[in-house]
Amino acid sequence: MNKWLALSLIILCWMAAGFAIFGFQQDQNRNDTPLPTQADRIISMAPNLTEILFALGLDDEIVGVTLGSDYPSATGKKTKVGTFWQPNIEAVIAAKPDLVITLGFDQQRNLAARLKRIGYNSLILDIEKVSELFEATKIIGAATGKQREANELVSDITTKLNKLSALVSTNGRVKVLWVVQREPLRVAGRDTFVNEMIELAGGENAIEPTMHKYPPIGAEQVIACKPDVIIEPAMDQKDPVGQQANALQYWSKFENVPAVMNKRIYVIAGDTVSRLGPRLYEGTETIAQCLRPELFAD
C-alpha cells in the first residue's frame, strides 16, 4: 500500500503547487474594461461588421477581416484572419489589433473570451434585429470616434426605409415564403431579421410563429400556408438567370400554391438579403420589387 500513499501525496503536492502558482484563475478580466473611444487597428470577425466599419469610413483602420467579408471590394486587400466559423486566433494576434469586433453567438463569443483571457479587448455585438443593427452601429461609432458618421448612417437608412414603407403600405400584405434550404426544407421564421425586411417591404411571412428561427417544414405546410410569393436567396453569385429557371422548375411540383400558379418565384442574388448590415435598405428595396413589381415599373 505504500506506493499508493506515496503517489497520492505526490499528486496532492502537485495540485497544491498549481493552486499556489496560478491561483484560481477566475477571470481576472471579469470586470468590464471601459470601451475604447478610439481605435487605430480594428479587426472585424463578421462580414456585416466589416460593411459597417467601411460605411463609417474606417477603411484605413481595418487590419483584419474574415474570409467571407467580400463587400466592399476593398476588403480583398485586407489580411484574412480565418473564417466566420473558424477564426484564426494567431492571425488576429499577429495583426496587433487594439479592437476586435465580434458577433454575439456562441462561436464568436468563445473567440472573444479567448482573446480576453490573453489580454485583448473585444467588442461583442448582437445583430439579430434591425434595431440591434442600429444600436451596434452607434456603439461602433462611439468606440472608434465616429459617432457623427454613425448617427448619419442610421438616420439615412431609417429615412429611406420609412419612405419605402409609405410607398408599399397599401392594403393587403403579400404573403411570402422565404426558403433558405431546399433539402431538408427550411424557411425563415418570424423571429428573424429577414422577417423584418419582409414586413418593411410590405409583405408578411406565410409561416405562423414557430419555435425555431429557421424551422424545417414539410411539403404540407408549403401548401397550407398559401404563399403569394416564394423567395430564395441565391446559392452562389454566378448565373442568376440559370438559378431563376432552376427555381421555377423545382417549385413547379407545388402546382396549387398561389406563388407557383402565378410564377412568382424569385431568386435574389447578392448578400444584401443574407446579411444584416448597412445595405439593409438595398436589400429591403429588392424584396419590395419582388412583392410589388407594379410599384417599381419605372
What residues make contact with other proteins under the rule CB under 8 A?
Answer: 2-4, 7, 10-11, 14-15, 17-18, 21-27, 67, 80-83, 85-86, 88-91, 93-94, 96, 98, 105-107, 110, 113-114, 117-119, 211-214
Q: How far is the CB of 261 from other proteins (least distance, A)?
A: 32
- The span from the CA of 106 to the CA of 14, in Å, is 34
Q: How far is the CB of 86 from other proteins (least distance, A)?
A: 5
- The span from the CA of 125 to the CA of 127, in Å, is 6
The single residue listed with the C-alpha cell 489580454 is 119
Q: How far is the CB of 181 from other proteins (least distance, A)?
A: 10
Decide whether 211 or 297 has the Cβ nearer to other proteins: 211
Decide whether 84 or 296 has the Cβ nearer to other proteins: 84
Decide whether 15 or 223 has the Cβ nearer to other proteins: 15
Q: Which three cell numbers stand for residue 103?
A: 458577433
Pairing of strands 174-181, 229-233: parallel
Listed in sequence order, the DSSP H helices in the chain are 2-22, 47-55, 89-94, 106-117, 130-144, 147-168, 193-200, 219-224, 240-251, 258-261, 280-291
SS3 of residue 5 by DSSP: helix
- 282 class by beta-carbon count within 10 Å (0-12 exposed, 13-18 middle, 19+ buried): middle
Decide whether 40 or 152 has the Cβ nearer to other proteins: 40
Q: How far is the CB of 22 from other proteins (least distance, A)?
A: 4
Q: How far is the CB of 119 from other proteins (least distance, A)?
A: 8
Nearest to 275 by CA among 71, 92, 100, 76: 71
Decide whether 136 or 200 has the Cβ nearer to other proteins: 136
Q: How far is the CB of 34 from other proteins (least distance, A)?
A: 15
Q: How far is the CB of 20 from other proteins (least distance, A)?
A: 10
203 forms beta bridges with: 174
Decide whether 87 or 278 has the Cβ nearer to other proteins: 87
Q: Which three cell numbers stand for residue 75?
A: 476588403
Decide whether 80 or 138 has the Cβ nearer to other proteins: 80
Instruction: Compute the CA torsion angle 54, 59, 65, 68 (nearest 10 deg).
Output: 40
